[in-house]
């Protein structure tokens, strides 16, 4: 099996702080991969560097065998991206946003419009297609962002926290679309810190901690003989269970503090 | 009383918290303090000097000034909405406070601050300048206090009544434009003065005569009068304050329990397809379509276009009045309008801001960026070219030089092309984040003020220098040069766009980072 994504010693520094300290990420083609790690582990930074949005201080990244920084034309035609932060072209309507994205990549207008309408229908956004993105809710933004990332039929999809702040119904729609996408042989890489979700969806897991990959491989291998991925994750990133029970002794007593009414 | 102290502290804490750790803001705050103290001192001094002026002029001036203060209090907080957390009742609605306590607290919060204090001092200056006799002094103090309370309560009533609208996206969009009309309004007296419609004293008296019976006018009159009529005026002013306060508390009570309706937006109008009619299908048409929509829908673009036009109109009026005899004036004015319009393209990616990644992941080569810039220029030109035509015709007719219309038009178009060319280079060399909410004090994210300044100065000088080769001969009377101006402009646009695409594509990540800076405490 070839690799959809392969990085060698990716490094990113912000002044003194090292955000990503030599990441060797490997994701096989056709996998539904989860990039997990605690907040500040460097997941977003890593994804930004692989998608060409952030210049690495060292190392290299390849998508489908093409060097991200030396061969941007090949790479950018192959990837779809949904970064964190959900910033889209706010003053376009959902449909206009999709059409703009498709045409920007050189697809004919008629094709783009057809694809956009189908995507809007699948994402349950047809009713909101004419509203400005600035008025969309978080779930709607994630869905329209995903639709925009899928529109040109990429072979590798990068999603940064796609399920954060999304209601269960929208999340279900998102996973359905993504499952169908990977079933056809395309690759999805998404970052998350919701272990249950990763365990449910992914067949490949990369665990990041403090700017490095600490474990990587098929889900079953990373989990090992532990009961859940969550357990494995906590052991890998070295979390100590908190014993701070005493300092919160006032919590949960139930009566509001007496005060000036 | 505890409420008063509590809210005064809250406001001071918010002000202090805003300054923490950021040198630029600290300097800004010190500047504000100095400015406010200076204005208070100067205002007090000038107002007290009115004692030396003829009594009728003095009282007319104070009447106008008091009305202007009230107007300022009505308008300025609307512009600052979202910048001051104590202005928005929704921010406080989760605290277990009764409406009355909340009202007292918010009143306290709005009188706590540098500018309210400065204004109070200036108004006491009016008391010194205007009060006559014991009655004037005796009634003057309550009159000033009532006027101050009137300002605060009215401003509170307005912001609270409009708070749900102001919190919505549409409300803020509308407000951004309203700010421009306030600027225009402020220019109006200036324009009228230039118009030479009578002497200033007569105009002042006419204005004062109208404003005399408004509440601030009555209070100002009370200080000067000091008799029984003054007493009645102060009492009625106070009653009005009480009435407005009661209204405000009612509105506040309702605003606290009314939900935010801002997400129930209507659909936008469909595509006009203008760009598709004359452009081949492809990325260029997509960019032009998007840009035309953005110019129509994005308040920052609308503000840019409106203010470019506004400055041109104001300058045209004042220059044609004073120097109507110069034959080259239409050429200069049209080129100036082109410069002002093209200046907006000097930070082309700033408005896209953090959404620029959508372009970045689509563009695999320089050509993508060049197409993007070309689309932006084409969309701008679609509006600017006819607009500059109108400016040329209007200025030509106004100055009485119809022969200058055609050269002016051609020169304007040439300047526009140069502006786009220079603008695209500056956009990739000196990009900066434009805050989502424009205000009068900063056009860039914190810490990028220097870049923004360099960007606008650089592009202005660049455009000015490059237009000299045809503007100077035109002004010297070589009219035939104007035929070359549009070609020269087009050439400059092409060169600038190519150069910008080369520089810009190589530094895409840096460009993205520069336009995606956080823009301060307001989200």
| Residues B92-145: tens digit of each pLDDT | 777 777 777 878 888 888 788 788 888 888 888 888 888 777 777 888 888 889
Q: Are the beta carbons of B354 and A87 separated by less than 8 Å?
A: yes
Give the residue with greater pLDDT, A157 vs B101: A157
pLDDT at B472: 87
Range scoring the smallest mean pLDDT among B70-74, B238-242, B484-488: B70-74
Averaged pLDDT for residues B32-38? 86
Model confidence, pTM = 0.77
Q: Residue B25 burial (CB < 10 Å; 0-12/13-18/19+)? A: middle
Residues of chain B above pLDDT 70, percent: 85
For residue A141, what are the contacts with CB-CB under 8 A and spacing of at least 6?
A: A86, A88, A133
Pairing outcome for strands A17-23 and A3-14: antiparallel
Query: Which of B2, B96, B281 faces A108 most closely, judged by CB atoms?
Result: B281
Joined tokens for residue B342 = 């093209």
Exposure of B365 in the CB half-sphere (CA atoms within 13 A): 5
| Predicted pLDDT at A186 | 93
Share of chain A above pLDDT 70, in %: 93
Read off the pLDDT band of B442 (50, 70, 90): very low
Q: Supply the pLDDT for residue B323.
A: 56
From A71's Cα to the closest Cα of chain B, the distance in A is 8
pLDDT tens readout for residues B274-320 = 777 788 888 999 999 999 988 888 888 888 888 888 888 888 877 77
- Band (pLDDT 50/70/90 cuts) for residue B440 is very low
Q: Is the pLDDT of residue B521 over 50?
A: no
Buried b / exposed e across B84-98, counting CB within 10 Å, b at 16+?
A: bbbbbbeebeeeebe
How far apart CA B493 and CA B421 sit, in angstroms, is 4
Place of tokens 């000034």: B65
Contact B360 A88 (CB under 8 A): no
Cα B78 to Cα B63: distance, rounded to the nearest angstrom: 24
The shortest C-alpha distance from A72 to chain B (Å) reads 5
How far off is chain A from B141, nearest CA to CA, in Å?
Answer: 35
- The rounded mean pLDDT for chain A is 87
Q: What is the largest CA-CA distance in chain B?
A: 82
B287·A104 Cβ contact <8 A: yes
Q: Where are the domains of chain B?
A: 2-257, 288-435+443-515
Smallest CA–CA distance, residue B363 to chain A, in Å, is 7
Name the residue with tokens 């209007």.
B394
Q: Which residue has the higher pLDDT, A172 or B180?
A: A172
Which of A196, A189, A140, A139 minimizes the C-alpha distance to A165? A139
Cα–Cα distance measured from residue B503 to residue B425, given in angstroms and rounded to the nearest whole number: 8
- Residue B386 has a pLDDT of 94
Beta-carbon separation of A106 and B283 below 8 A:
yes
pLDDT at residue B486 in the model = 93
Domains of chain A: 3-238 (3.40.50.300)
pLDDT, tens digit, 9 for 90 and up, residues A99-147: 999 999 999 999 999 999 999 998 889 988 889 888 888 888 989 999 9
Contacts of A148 in chain B (CB under 8 A): 358
pLDDT at B522 over 50: no
d(CA A189, CA A33): 5
pLDDT, one tens digit per residue, over A208-226 is: 998 999 999 999 999 888 8
Q: Is the pLDDT of residue B215 over 50?
A: yes
Q: Which of B264-268, B315-319, B445-449 shows the highest mean pLDDT?
A: B315-319
Q: What is the pLDDT of residue A64?
A: 92
Please indicate whether, in this complex, the C-beta atoms of A105 and B357 are within 8 angstroms of each other.
no
DSSP code for B131 = -
Q: Is the pLDDT of residue B219 over 70?
A: yes
**Which whole number is the average pLDDT over B439-443?**
48
Give me the residues paired with residue A52 across strands: none
CB-CB neighbors (< 8 A) of A52 in chain B = 360-361, 508-509
């Amino acid at each position: 099996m070839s690799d959809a994504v392969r990085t060698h010693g990716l490094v990113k520094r912000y002044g003194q702080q090292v955000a990503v300290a030599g990441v060797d990420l490997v994701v096989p083609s056709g996998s539904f991969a989860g990039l997990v790690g605690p907040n500040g582990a460097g997941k977003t930074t890593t994804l930004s560097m692989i998608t060409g949005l952030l210049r690495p201080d060292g190392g290299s990244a390849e998508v489908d065998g093409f060097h991200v920084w030396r061969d941007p034309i090949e790479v950018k035609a192959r990837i779809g991206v949904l970064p964190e932060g959900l910033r889209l072209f706010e003053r376009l309507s959902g449909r206009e946003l999709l059409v703009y994205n498709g045409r920007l990549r050189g697809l004919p207008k008629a094709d783009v419009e057809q694809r956009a309408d189908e995507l809007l229908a699948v994402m349950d956004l047809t009713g909101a297609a004419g509203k400005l993105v600035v008025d969309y809710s978080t779930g709607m933004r994630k869905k329209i962002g995903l639709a925009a990332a899928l529109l040109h039929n990429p072979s590798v999809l990068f999603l940064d926290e796609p399920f954060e702040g999304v209601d269960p119904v929208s999340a279900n729609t998102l996973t359905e679309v993504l499952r169908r996408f990977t079933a056809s042989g395309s690759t999805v890489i998404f970052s998350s810190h919701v272990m249950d979700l990763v365990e449910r969806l992914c067949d490949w897991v990369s665990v990041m901690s403090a700017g490095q990959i600490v474990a990587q491989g098929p889900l079953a291998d990373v989990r090992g003989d532990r009961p859940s991925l969550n357990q494995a994750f906590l052991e890998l990133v070295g979390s100590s269970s908190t014993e701070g029970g005493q300092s919160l002794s006032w919590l949960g007593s139930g009566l509001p503090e007496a005060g000036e009414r | 009383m505890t409420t008063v102290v509590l809210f005064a502290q809250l406001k001071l804490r918010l002000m202090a918290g805003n300054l923490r750790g950021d040198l630029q803001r600290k300097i800004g705050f010190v500047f504000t303090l100095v400015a406010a103290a200076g204005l208070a001192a100067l205002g007090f001094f000038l107002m007290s000097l009115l004692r030396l002026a003829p009594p009728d002029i003095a009282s007319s001036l104070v009447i106008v000034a008091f009305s202007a203060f009230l107007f300022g209090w009505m308008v300025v907080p609307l512009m600052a909405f979202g910048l001051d957390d104590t202005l928005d009742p929704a921010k406080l609605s989760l605290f277990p406070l009764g409406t009355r306590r909340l009202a007292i607290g918010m009143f306290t919060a709005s009188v706590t601050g540098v500018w309210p204090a400065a204004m109070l001092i200036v108004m006491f200056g009016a008391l010194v300048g205007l009060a006559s006799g014991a009655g004037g002094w005796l009634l003057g103090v309550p009159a000033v206090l009532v006027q101050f309370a009137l300002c605060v309560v009215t401003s509170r009533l307005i912001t609270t009544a409009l708070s749900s609208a102001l919190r919505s996206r549409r409300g803020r969009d509308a407000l951004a434009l309203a700010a421009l009309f306030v600027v225009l309004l402020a220019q109006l007296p200036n324009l009228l003065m230039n118009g030479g419609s009578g002497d200033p004293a007569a105009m002042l008296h006419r204005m004062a005569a109208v404003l005399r019976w408004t509440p601030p006018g009555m209070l100002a009159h009370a200080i000067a009068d000091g008799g029984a009529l003054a007493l009645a005026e102060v009492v009625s002013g106070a009653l009005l304050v009480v009435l407005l306060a009661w209204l405000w508390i009612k509105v506040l009570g309702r605003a606290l329990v009314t939900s935010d309706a801002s997400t129930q937006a209507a659909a936008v109008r469909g595509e006009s397809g203008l760009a598709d009619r004359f452009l081949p299908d492809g990325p260029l048409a997509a960019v032009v379509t998007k840009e035309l929509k953005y110019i129509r829908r994005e308040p920052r673009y609308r503000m840019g276009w409106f203010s470019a036009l506004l400055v041109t109109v104001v300058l045209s009026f004042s220059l044609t009045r004073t120097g109507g005899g110069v034959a080259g004036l239409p050429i200069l004015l049209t080129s100036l309008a082109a410069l002002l319009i093209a200046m907006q393209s000097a930070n082309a990616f700033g408005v896209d801001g953090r959404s620029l990644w959508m372009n970045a992941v689509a563009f695999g080569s320089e050509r993508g960026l060049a197409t993007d810039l070309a689309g932006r220029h084409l969309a701008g030109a679609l509006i600017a070219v006819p607009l500059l035509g109108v400016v040329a015709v209007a200025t030509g007719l106004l100055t009485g030089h119809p022969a200058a219309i055609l050269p002016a038009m051609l020169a304007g178009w040439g300047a526009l092309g140069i502006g786009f060319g220079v603008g695209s280079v500056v956009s990739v060399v000196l990009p900066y984040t434009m805050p989502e909410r424009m205000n009068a004090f900063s056009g860039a994210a914190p810490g990028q003020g220097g870049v923004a300044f360099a960007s606008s100065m650089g592009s202005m000088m660049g455009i000015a220098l490059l237009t000299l080769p045809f503007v100077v001969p035109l002004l010297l009377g070589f009219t035939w040069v104007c035929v070359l101006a549009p070609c020269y402009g087009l050439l400059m646009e092409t060169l600038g766009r190519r150069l910008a695409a080369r520089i810009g594509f190589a530094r895409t990540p840096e460009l993205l980072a520069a336009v995606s800076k956080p823009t301060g405490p307001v989200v």
